[in-house]
């Protein structure tokens, strides 16, 4: 099986972690988003949407992270806690994963991209002028999603959908972990969500070396990118 990913892509990390945790053999194929490799013709043959992740399982190509997770869980008979067989437990996982797309994912990635696009000078990325009001709005949207995680999904449970980790936790954690790159601490400022992040992070720690190294590289690039008199330093 071939996995096409970039470790600075949150859904890519979720699929990578799932493969590692479940001891599924795969070949890593890095698609460097900052270099625009997702727009190369050879990758468009794999994923015409030009996004990561994607898998090629002996000729069966699949895109979309949650679809990939479900496919892997079914094919490799992954532990039931990822996608429970109990109808109500599975409904809770589905509830979060459906909410995630238009709430946490949407709000978080918009803030993430805004921070990168107003800071980095990379030829393949657009450049946005800084807009303080827009930044505050994006942060407020993310804060709302964080509050929803705290008060609706987590409440007093150790994980989003119950007492054990699920695909919901994997997707949610990977999304919020990227805030470390851009120096946002909205999730960390929520005691309940921060404790949950640490819980999931501890579960994934054994397999975090490669994702963390890629995140650290981008964070260094981000931190070293400064604006002088409105112009960008090219790194």
Structural domains in the chain plus CATH codes? 2-75 (3.40.30.10), 87-227 (1.20.1050.10)
Helix axes 167-177, 87-102, angle to 10 degrees: 20
Q: Please report, in angstroms and rounded to a whole number, the separation of the first and last CA atoms in the chain.
A: 35
Beta-carbon contacts of 212 under 8 Å, excluding residues fewer than 6 positions away, are none
Per-residue pLDDT of the chain (235 residues; tens, 9 = 90+): 999 999 999 999 999 999 999 999 999 999 999 999 999 999 999 999 999 999 999 999 999 999 999 999 999 999 999 999 999 999 999 999 999 999 999 999 999 999 999 999 888 888 889 999 999 999 999 999 999 999 999 999 999 999 999 999 999 999 999 999 999 999 999 999 999 999 999 999 999 999 999 999 999 999 998 443 344 433 3
pTM: 0.94
Helix axes 167-177, 191-204, angle to 10 degrees: 110
Cα separation, 15 vs 3, whole angstroms? 9
Helix axes 167-177, 104-117, angle to 10 degrees: 20
Position 227 scores a pLDDT of 47
What CA dihedral angle connects 220, 225, 226 and 230, to 10 degrees? -160
Which helix (H) or strand (E) is 61 found in, with range? strand 60-63
- What are the pLDDT digits (tens) for 33-43? 999 999 999 99
């Amino acid at each position: 099986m071939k996995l096409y990913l970039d470790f600075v892509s949150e859904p890519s990390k979720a699929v990578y972690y799932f493969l590692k945790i479940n001891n599924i053999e795969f070949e890593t194929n890095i698609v460097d988003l900052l270099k625009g490799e997702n727009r190369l013709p050879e990758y468009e043959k794999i994923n015409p949407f030009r996004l990561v992740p994607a898998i090629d399982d002996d000729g069966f190509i699949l895109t979309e992270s949650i679809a990939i997770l479900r496919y892997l869980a079914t094919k490799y008979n992954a532990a039931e806690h990822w996608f429970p067989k109990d109808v109500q437990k599975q409904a809770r996982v589905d509830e979060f994963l459906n909410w995630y797309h238009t709430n946490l994912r949407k709000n978080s990635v918009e803030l993430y991209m805004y921070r990168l696009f107003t800071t980095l000078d990379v030829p393949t990325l657009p450049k946005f002028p800084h807009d303080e009001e827009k930044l505050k709005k994006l942060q407020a949207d993310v804060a709302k999603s964080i509050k929803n995680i705290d008060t609706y999904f987590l409440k007093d449970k150790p994980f989003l959908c119950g007492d054990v980790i699920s695909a919901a936790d994997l997707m949610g954690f990977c999304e919020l972990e990227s805030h470390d790159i851009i120096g946002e601490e909205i999730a960390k400022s929520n005691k309940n969500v921060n404790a949950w992040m640490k819980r999931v992070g501890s579960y994934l720690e054994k397999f975090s070396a490669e994702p963390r190294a890629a995140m650290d590289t981008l964070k260094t690039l981000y931190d070293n990118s400064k604006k002088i008199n409105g112009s960008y330093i090219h790194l």
